[in-house]
Amino acid sequence: MPESWSSSRVDLYLEVAPGGRRSGLESALRAAIREGRLTTGTLLPSTRGLAAELGLSRGTVTAAYDQLAEEGYLTIRPGSGTRVADLPPQSPPAILDADDHTPLHDLRSGWPDVSAFPTRAWLAATRRVLNRNTRDVFGIGDPQGRIELRRALAEYLGRARGVRTSPDQIIVTSGYYQGVGLLSRVLREGGIKTAACEDPGHDAYRGAVERELRIEALPVDSEGAQIEMIGQAGAVFLTPSHQYPTGVPLHPKRRQAVCAWARTTGGLVIEDDYDGEFRYDRQPIGALQGIAPEHVVYGGSASKTLSPVLRLGWLAVPQHLVPPLLTAKEETDFYTEALGQLVLAELITSHAYDRHIRASRLRYRRRRQLLLDRLAAFPELTVHGVPAGLSTLVTGLNEPKALAKCAERGIALRGLTDLYHNPTASPGGLIIGFAAPSERQYPATLNALCNVLP
């Protein structure tokens, strides 16, 4: 039986010019290698497979491979196949590798140390999931999220964050950012026109809200968001455990006040548990949702505990919001990919997730203290916020000048002004993340930062 195109071991797209078949194949392969479409080490199809795919004789393909091997384009090793040789670059690549965009010194806020990702635990959990659920994993997903993850989250959030919820009230999203967009849409469709957002606050999430609702700025002081300034808004978006970017928790009296506001007005509180697990001087503050679960939506994600690449977030919502949020989710991306959900559920139920967070908490606590020790050499600077989170706000400097110096030296971080609704209200400052660099890189990164500070 002749070999079918579908049985070829390696796929290869080539445009073979008409005319001399061997010369046309050679030219097509040379062009693919020179243009970078076939990179160093790429395994080419077998001579038999490529001949069948292109309608050529096997002898023609063999001769073409041999010629290109003599020219140094290919290497042929019996038993290992034919591969693209290691050639010197002919010209700069048209597309930069992702590593070329990685800053030399990464102090971006909200980024975890992805080099500490629990790879071994993740792989072990993946194997267990696939061994149990292979057929089910690769079927059509549930718009609300896998029940295994929703059950695991309900248990974990209740135990670790004080959230009062059940699996049928949890909706799994493709990151917290998507959750904000879905909520804003549902609020608008439910008749709410205005939402209050912390000022300063996370600009990306504010932008997601602003696409659906009018924004009212909610000032933040040393006790968190000024709840008495909510005004006529029908919803309020908060980071009560660790306000971003000032780093202050919402004062207990204000936590009670915002819940009373929601009960009295029928308004909705959306709680972003930003950095909620990472408190370094005491036990993390419990979620606001635990005080008034019927009036508070709790949002979280794996972006800071594990990695933003996973795109796994969740909302714990009052029961009446489940149907409209599911409709919005179905119309957006139908469902979040299932395999990652099942692996995360396995990590949570095996307590590998808890172990990773505890190890991360110790590591980030040490890094924050190293940062504060170095900043102590600059008495004109003021450090804000409680010992928590993945970043620290520093004021008392010329923000534009400091940012320019950082850019010159390859230091990536954020300025405070971008996070204000009205930039002219900003006192200026730097938001210094201390989680993103690897353990090996962190000392050099701190040195680079201190060399540009006043």
DSSP string, 137-169: HTS---TT--HHHHHHHHHHHHHHH-----GGG
Q: φ and ψ at 183, to 5 degrees?
A: -60, -45
> How much of the chain is helix, strand and coil, in % rounded to 5?
45, 15, 40
Digitized pLDDT (tens) for each residue of the chain, 454 residues in all: 344 434 445 777 787 876 568 888 988 898 888 888 899 999 999 998 888 888 889 999 999 998 888 778 899 988 888 999 987 554 433 333 334 467 899 999 989 999 999 999 999 999 999 998 777 788 888 999 999 999 999 999 999 999 999 999 999 999 999 999 999 999 999 999 999 999 999 999 999 999 999 999 999 999 999 999 999 999 999 999 999 999 999 999 999 999 999 999 999 999 999 888 999 998 888 999 999 999 999 999 999 999 999 999 999 999 999 999 999 999 999 999 999 999 999 999 999 999 999 999 999 999 999 999 999 999 999 999 999 999 999 999 999 999 999 999 999 999 999 999 999 999 999 999 999 999 999 999 999 999 999 8
DSSP 288: G
Residue 12: CB partners within 8 Å, gap ≥ 6?
A: 44, 45, 50, 53
pTM: 0.82
Closest CA to 385 of 264, 239, 287: 239
CB 345 within 8 A of CB 151: yes
Which pLDDT belongs to residue 20? 64
Pairing of strands 235-238, 268-272: parallel
Q: How many residues would you count in the chain? A: 454
CB 179 within 8 A of CB 315: yes
What is the DSSP code string of 384-426? ES-SBSSEEEEESS-HHHHHHHHHHTTEE-EESGGGSSSGGG-
CB 130 within 8 A of CB 137: yes
Domains and CATH numbers, the chain: 5-84 (1.10.10.10), 105-114+355-450 (3.90.1150.10), 118-352 (3.40.640.10)
- The kind and range of the H/E element at 126 are helix 119-137
DSSP 248: P
Q: Determine the straight-line distance between the first and last CA of the chain, rounded to whole angstroms.
A: 77
Q: How many Å apart are CA 65 and CA 74, to the nearest integer?
A: 7
